[in-house]
Structure 1
Amino acid sequence: MTSPLIDLLRRVSRALGFETVDSFPPGHAYARTRWNAAYFDIASDVKPDEIERRICDAIANTPLVFAHISNPTPRMQRALFGVIEQRLRHRHQRDAAQLAALLIKAYASRDIPEAMPGLRNVIADTANEEAGVRIQAVLDFLNSVQSPFDVIEMRH
């Protein structure tokens, strides 16, 4: 008897934004993308485009939060690419390498959408190499792609 009442209260709570979400709504193009809600305080009434923007802002400000996202969207990946590019430009190799390692870990999932053509192949081709070799391959690839960080995303 209490189960229908609890279900109703949960739906109302979610609709009013009292809950924190950890994924896009069912049916969304990136419904497989998940994040740890403890790191991204996003109310349940926030629209998907705004959710993605907030997560990208969080990545730009604190890039290590990327580790708490599974199957990040291409836009989220591009936010990380931007931080990696910035770190490389300022000669912070160790920081860039740490972020490239997060990217490699994210691509362990077959469900992650490829944000930059060829990146999945670079990561797959180095699967049997040591971590340092894999990280350097990813950094070399990102450096070799012409303007990979200046991608302008079109709004639909």
Structure 2
Amino acid sequence: MKRITARPLDADSFRPFGEVIESDNARSIRLINGGTTTRFHEVAPVEVGKGRAILSIFRGKPFAPPLAIRMMERHPLGSQAFVPLSPRPYLVVVAEDAGGRPGEPVAFLAEAGQGVSYPPGAWHHPLIALEAVSDFLVVDREGEGPNIEEYEFRDGFELVLA
């Protein structure tokens, strides 16, 4: 099994796979509501095609590294965003498309408060919570037609923290 190491999540390194949801990634910053609120505008797009955008809460059971990465998934009809509601780090595993299947995975360690948004068709591993059961606000697509493709790696990858 080939080993991959998680590195810190930052907007520039993650951009080939999607957007980091954090105030530093805003397209613009504005004062609203009579100056009582700062709006960090458009930190990530939401794409739903012919569907509709929905909000859900995913509750992830914790994993303890090292862990085996044996599969990836993608959603071809809409984007999917994860925003942690629990104050804990979590792992993000993504891969570039390699002719309709995921290439070699890349792993990021997301700090509490950092979310991620995957564009339609981005290969990613399902949620990987760390330390304790963790809740995430998820923005994705509800609509007609299947919106998930899964791929199983033959040998898998061993994911470790740096």
If the length of structure 1 is used for normalisation, what is the TM-score?
0.24
More strand per residue: 2
Kindly name which structure, 1 or 2, has the bigger radius of gyration based on alpha carbons.
Answer: 1
If the length of structure 2 is used for normalisation, what is the TM-score?
0.24
The higher relative CO (CA closer than 8 Å, separation ≥ 6) is in 2
